[in-house]
């Protein structure tokens, strides 16, 4: 009945190490991953929406986690990107600590309820420090998929 995170995270939506070292380039890099797999119809509009959302309030929730998300009609179906930064990125997080784990969520406007449930589910998972550490230490996309699927 619930949302299965693994179904939203094909291997091509996993990034073991972001090239970006700053907030906006990191968001762009993750949006590119969705664009490259045909999940969004117009990357410029999607990116504009994400950046406007970040201006309203940071999605850096603390504990080295950011959950950027956007609901817009240029998204074909709900999807997600998982990315990491070993050095951390200043994401203006609520605790002022650098962000190392990113879950970018994209969905059509009509899926507001699903997005809220997904954000809650990811937040609960990432509340577990051991889970966060294991995600940071995983050295393959398959390890990350396995970790998430066990939760």
pLDDT of residue 115: 92
Secondary structure of the chain: what % helix, strand, coil (to 5)?
A: 50, 20, 30
Q: Which domain holds residue 115?
A: 5-150
Residue 138 in tokens: 């995983």
Question: What SS3 state is found at 76?
Answer: coil
Kindly report the average pLDDT of the chain as a whole number.
94
CATH classification at residue 32: 3.40.930.10
pLDDT > 90? residue 4: no
pLDDT of residue 57: 92
Domain total in the chain: 1
pLDDT above 90 as % of the chain: 93
Q: Which residues are catalytic?
A: 69
The model carries a pTM of 0.95
Please tell me the distance from the alpha carbon of residue 16 to that of residue 144, in angstroms, as a whole number: 9
pLDDT of residue 150: 87
pLDDT of residue 130: 95
pLDDT tens-digit series, residues 41-87? 999 999 999 999 999 999 999 999 999 999 999 999 999 999 999 99
Q: What is the largest CA-CA distance in the chain?
A: 37
pLDDT tens-digit series, residues 91-118? 999 999 999 999 999 999 999 899 999 9
pLDDT > 70? residue 1: no
């Amino acid at each position: 009945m619930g949302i299965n995170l693994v179904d939203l995270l094909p291997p091509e939506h996993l990034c073991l190490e972001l090239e970006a070292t700053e907030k906006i380039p990191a968001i762009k890099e993750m949006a590119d991953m969705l664009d490259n797999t045909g999940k969004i119809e117009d990357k410029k509009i999607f990116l504009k929406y994400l950046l406007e959302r970040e201006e309203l309030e940071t999605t850096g929730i603390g504990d080295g986690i950011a959950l950027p998300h956007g609901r817009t009609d240029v998204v074909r179906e709900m999807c997600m990107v998982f990315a990491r930064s070993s050095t951390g990125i200043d994401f203006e997080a609520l605790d002022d600590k650098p962000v190392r784990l990113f879950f970018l969520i994209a969905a059509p406007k009509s899926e507001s309820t699903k997005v809220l449930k997904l954000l809650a589910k990811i937040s609960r998972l990432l509340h577990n420090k051991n889970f966060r550490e294991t995600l940071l230490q995983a050295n393959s996309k398959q390890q990350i998929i396995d970790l998430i699927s066990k939760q």
